[in-house]
């Protein structure tokens, strides 16, 4: 099966095309955002994937949204991530760090004292977020100043540098799910009337400048981007997501990224993979509820790999199970985000 053959995404050399999708699992140290020993074991258990894309990792303290998520902005965090990348490499795996700034999708209860919640505009997202004190409404964010925006772009650059210092093979920009880059792109959350908002061209600027900053560190062929046009998660709304993402991808295409990671949304009647192919000529990783057989059929000259989320949680040996057509274990949804090893590192291999 083609799913188990090698491929290359920029400088990333994958031994198979089964990619572990990024999934927040909330096992980092809450006070310091430092990855834990449990996380090292978790990723090492799944290193047979052609590529691991880590959980979303904040580039700064302001970028944190959820409790117990890791950062990549302190020396302690970098040192802890080094143990994780070394463990994955020891098993022959490749690992990319997903950089995720949550913007307005946040609560002060999940952040260190005095750390702000910021967004393109002072428009709170509707809904609630989990904290150790229970469910709380999303914060009303502060509208970012010009200086805030420039600093945040530089935070992404510095996070990319730190990721490479920690031994990651690449980095991925999280550009969906209602987080900061998507907030800048979308008319519902970006109400600015300056060079960072208003027209479509200006709403694209933040994401494009972030990509330029990330690719300037060590080339575009170690940088990927994840998108999901039309995704309403975290109260995200854009008046014309097809126009927005078509324009964005046409500008990103010549930059030569390692890959574009596309989440399909057939339940909303959206052909996100088709949109990507129409506006982007580079390699694609596709995602969302593929099984082994459908993944095999979707691979083509442009779609180089398929990422799997939930199946990797309960099946650390997912590649072997897919290759040998073995039965899959099922996840326990009650332990997806709870602290501790239960439902995290205690899922067994097929043996």
Pairing assessment for the beta strands 7-9 and 12-14 based on DSSP bridges: antiparallel
272-279 and 241-252 helices cross at what angle (nearest 10)? 40
* Residue 58 DSSP code: B
Spatial CB neighbours of 33, under 8 Å, sequence gap ≥ 6: 58, 61, 64, 69, 70, 71, 73, 74, 77
Q: Of 113, 184, 107, nearest to 153 (Cα)?
A: 184
Q: Of 243, 297, 220, 299, nearest to 50 (Cα)?
A: 299
- Judge whether 179 counts as a catalytic residue: yes
Q: In DSSP terms, which residues pair with 260 in a beta bridge?
A: 225, 284
Q: How far apart are CA 77 and CA 200, in angstroms?
A: 37
One of 179, 259, 322, 347 is an active-site residue; which one? 179
Q: How far apart are CA 215 and CA 25, in angstroms?
A: 27
Spatial CB neighbours of 132, under 8 Å, sequence gap ≥ 6: 30, 67, 109, 110
As to burial, measured by CB atoms within 10 angstroms (0-12 exposed, 13-18 middle, 19+ buried), residue 252 is: buried
Q: Which residues are catalytic?
A: 179
């Amino acid at each position: 099966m083609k799913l188990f053959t090698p491929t290359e995404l920029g400088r990333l050399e994958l031994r198979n095309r089964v990619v572990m999708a990024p999934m927040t699992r909330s096992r980092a140290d809450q006070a310091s955002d430092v990855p834990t020993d449990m996380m090292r074991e978790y990723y090492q258990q799944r290193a047979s994937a052609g590529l691991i894309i880590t959980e979303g990792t904040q580039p700064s303290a302001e970028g944190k949204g959820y409790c117990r998520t890791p950062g990549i902005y302190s020396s302690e965090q970098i040192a802890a991530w080094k143990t994780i990348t070394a463990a994955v490499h020891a098993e022959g795996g490749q690992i990319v760090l997903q950089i995720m700034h949550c913007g307005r999708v946040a609560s002060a209860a999940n952040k260190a004292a005095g750390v702000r919640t910021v967004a393109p505009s002072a428009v709170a997202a509707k809904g609630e977020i989990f904290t150790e004190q229970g469910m709380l409404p999303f914060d009303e964010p502060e509208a970012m100043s010009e200086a805030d925006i420039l600093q945040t772009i530089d935070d992404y650059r510095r996070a990319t540098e730190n990721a490479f210092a920690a031994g990651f093979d690449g980095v991925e920009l999280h550009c969906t799910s209602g987080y900061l880059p998507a907030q800048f792109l979308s008319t519902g959350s970006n109400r600015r009337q300056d060079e960072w908002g208003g027209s479509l061209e200006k709403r694209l600027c933040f994401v494009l400048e972030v990509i330029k900053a990330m690719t300037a560190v060590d080339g575009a062929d170690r940088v990927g981007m994840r998108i999901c046009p039309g995704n309403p998660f975290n109260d995200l709304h854009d008046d014309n997501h097809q126009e927005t993402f078509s324009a964005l991808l046409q500008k990103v295409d010549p930059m030569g990224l390692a890959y574009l990671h596309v989440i399909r949304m057939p339940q909303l009647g959206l052909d996100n993979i088709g949109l990507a192919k129409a506006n982007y000529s580079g390699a694609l990783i596709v995602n969302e509820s593929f099984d082994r057989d459908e993944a095999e059929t979707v691979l083509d000259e442009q779609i180089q790999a398929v990422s799997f989320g939930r199946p990797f949680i309960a099946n650390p040996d997912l590649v072997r199970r897919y290759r040998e057509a073995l039965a899959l274990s099922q996840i326990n949804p009650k332990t997806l985000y709870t602290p501790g090893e239960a439902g995290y590192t205690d899922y067994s291999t097929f043996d």
